[in-house]
Amino acid sequence: MTPEQVVQMQLEAYNACDLNAFAATYADNVRVTDESGKLLCDGLKQLREVYGPLFTANPSQAAIIENRIAAGPYVIDDETVIGRADGKTRHAVAIYKVEGDKIVNVVLVRR
């Protein structure tokens, strides 16, 4: 599976609010940070603890990919998230690093 295919599976699970399918695309030791390097999730257990409530609270949310760049183990998505319970649209760039068939690192940049 290519890194782009792994990230696409992750996106589809995110949009379906399917926590198990979403988590299955990540490595056990995944690290998610923001653009400043602040750690948002350290490991798969914490990722599930963060995204589980997010999916429950926002069952109609969807991430729309405005642009995607894939190069080597990296996939960069420029995305817009709609359908949140608060009615706000969010814009971000997500930079994924994939090793094997798992996402091992994510940097989220709000824009």
* Mean pLDDT value across the chain: 97
* Amino acid code (one letter) for 102: K
Residue 41: predicted pLDDT: 97
- What is d(CA 1, CA 108) in angstroms, rounded to the nearest whole number? 23
Number of domains in the chain: 1
3-state secondary structure 54-85: HHHHCCCCEEEEEEEEEECCEEEEEEEEECCC
37-71 pLDDT tens trace: 999 999 999 999 999 999 999 999 999 999 999 99
- 20-43 pLDDT, tens per residue? 999 999 999 999 999 999 999 999
95: helix, coil or strand? Answer: strand
Report CA-CA distances (Å) from 56 to 52, 53, 90: 6, 5, 18
CA 74 to chain centre: 13
What proportion of the chain, given as a percentage, has pLDDT over 90?
Answer: 99
CB 82 within 8 A of CB 102: no
Which residues sit opposite 95 in a β-bridge?
76, 107
Confidence at residue 111, expressed as pLDDT on a 0 to 100 scale:
83
pLDDT recorded at residue 4 = 98
Name the band, by pLDDT with cuts 50, 70 and 90, for residue 86. Answer: very high
* Domain that includes residue 46, residue range: 3-110
User: CATH code at 14?
Assistant: 3.10.450.50
Would the pLDDT of 90 be above 90?
A: yes
Task: Answer whether 97's CB lies under 8 Å from 74's CB.
Answer: yes
